[in-house]
């Protein structure tokens, strides 16, 4: 319907001041001529829209104009409700997300309120992988604050082999992948936030490159991680009653074996321990010895915690 398209055009202009007509046409799925006709229609209806010529020109709304929320649809309200509450909580923004949704609910119309109710009652987004709760990320709010303020941070970081280093980095972005938070630095490099053991925000500005593209950088770094060779080979035996469960949980690490015998591959000892420890006594590692020793040490630490 044209009315829906006109509202979408207004919202696009609020989000992207100075957008070119071809870009708006592509977003709306119409021709450039249709966009220009819609701009004329908005102007005729009293909405302060205008065009600017030149390299930095485009179609704009007056900065003081803001469209209301009363016309958001039920489907759009349902989309708002399917928010990432756990991820917002990790960032220290859980209360802010709740308040924002309350404001939207109060400002919107009946369809929006109904859509929010539908979304909350019918759809739950659980970002944590099976068999593992979310990782503790106590320093994530500080990292996020430094990122927003454009400040460098000094961290003590524990790598995948357990080695600790102190380093100063320039935060460039944060990514939540399957419930696991990663810090993308300007180098670029990837740090797992759960492995940050301390974080100090420094006064000097971070050197975030101009035009930094977080999705593209994440895609490149992720490819590097996924293609990293898994050259640690582990042989283990599953308890007969738990063999099917073990194969399901460890499916992406399986390289061979049959029945209760499991042949697995990992990036390193810590990677193996992190993947196997949760299975407890359901799986016994036969080799290599460093993995057996690391699992024993981790299990004793857990036992000592609850002794």
Return the pLDDT at 69. Answer: 58
List the one residue out of 53, 58, 73, 56 whose CA is nearest residue 3. 73
Q: Mind listing the pLDDT tens digit of every residue in the chain (307 residues)? A: 466 778 778 878 877 778 888 988 888 888 999 988 988 888 888 888 888 877 767 888 887 776 665 556 666 666 666 666 778 888 888 777 777 776 666 666 667 677 777 777 777 777 776 656 567 899 999 999 999 999 999 999 998 777 899 999 999 999 988 778 999 999 999 999 999 999 999 999 999 888 899 999 999 998 877 666 778 999 999 999 999 999 999 998 999 999 999 999 998 888 899 899 999 999 999 999 999 999 999 999 999 988 8
Q: 119: closest CA among 87, 74, 69?
A: 74
Tell me the pTM.
0.61
* CA pair distance 253, 270, nearest whole angstrom: 14
Listing from the earlier edge strand, what are the strands of the sheet with 164-169?
164-169, 151-158, 196-205
Q: Are 246 and 234 in contact (CB under 8 A)?
A: no
Cα 32 from Cα 122, distance rounded (Å): 39
Q: 154 to each of 48, 161, 183, how far by Cα in Å?
A: 48, 20, 13
pLDDT of residue 15: 72
- Cα 219 from chain centroid (whole Å): 13
- Nearest Cα neighbor of 24 from 62, 34, 3 is 34
Q: Tell me, what's the pLDDT at 77? A: 63
Distance, CA of 155 to CA of 138 (rounded, Å): 13
Match 């308040």 to its residue by tokens. Answer: 99
Whether the bond into 188 is cis, omega within 30 of 0: yes
Residues 163, 168, 173, 179, CA torsion sign: positive
């Amino acid at each position: 319907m044209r009315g829906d398209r006109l509202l979408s055009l207004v919202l696009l202009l609020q989000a992207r001041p100075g957008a070119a007509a071809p870009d708006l046409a592509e977003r709306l799925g119409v021709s450039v001529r249709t966009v220009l006709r819609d701009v004329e229609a908005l102007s005729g209806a009293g909405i302060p829209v205008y065009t600017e010529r030149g390299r930095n020109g485009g179609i704009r709304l007056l900065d003081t104009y803001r469209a209301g929320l009363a016309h958001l649809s039920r489907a759009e309200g349902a989309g708002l409700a399917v928010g990432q509450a756990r991820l917002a909580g990790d960032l220290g923004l859980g209360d802010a997300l709740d308040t924002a949704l309350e404001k939207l609910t109060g400002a919107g119309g009946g369809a929006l309120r109904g859509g929010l109710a539908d979304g909350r009652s019918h759809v739950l987004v659980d970002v944590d992988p099976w068999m593992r709760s979310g990782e503790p990320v106590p320093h994530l709010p500080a990292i996020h604050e430094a990122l927003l303020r454009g400040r460098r941070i000094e961290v003590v970081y524990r790598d995948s082999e357990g080695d600790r280093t102190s380093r100063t980095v320039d935060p460039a972005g944060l990514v939540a992948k399957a419930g696991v938070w990663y810090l993308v630095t300007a180098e670029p490099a990837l740090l797992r936030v759960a492995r940050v053991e301390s974080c100090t925000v420094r006064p000097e500005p971070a050197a975030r490159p101009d035009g930094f593209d977080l999705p593209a950088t994440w895609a490149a770094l992720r490819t590097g991680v996924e293609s990293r060779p898994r050259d640690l080979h582990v042989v283990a035996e599953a308890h007969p009653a738990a063999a099917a469960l073990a194969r399901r949980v460890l499916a992406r690490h399986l390289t061979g074996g049959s029945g209760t015998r499991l042949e697995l591959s990992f990036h390193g000892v810590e990677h193996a321990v992190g993947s196997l420890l949760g299975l407890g006594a359901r799986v016994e590692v036969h080799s290599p010895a460093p993995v057996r020793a690391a699992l024993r040490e981790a299990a004793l630490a857990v036992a000592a915690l609850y002794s």
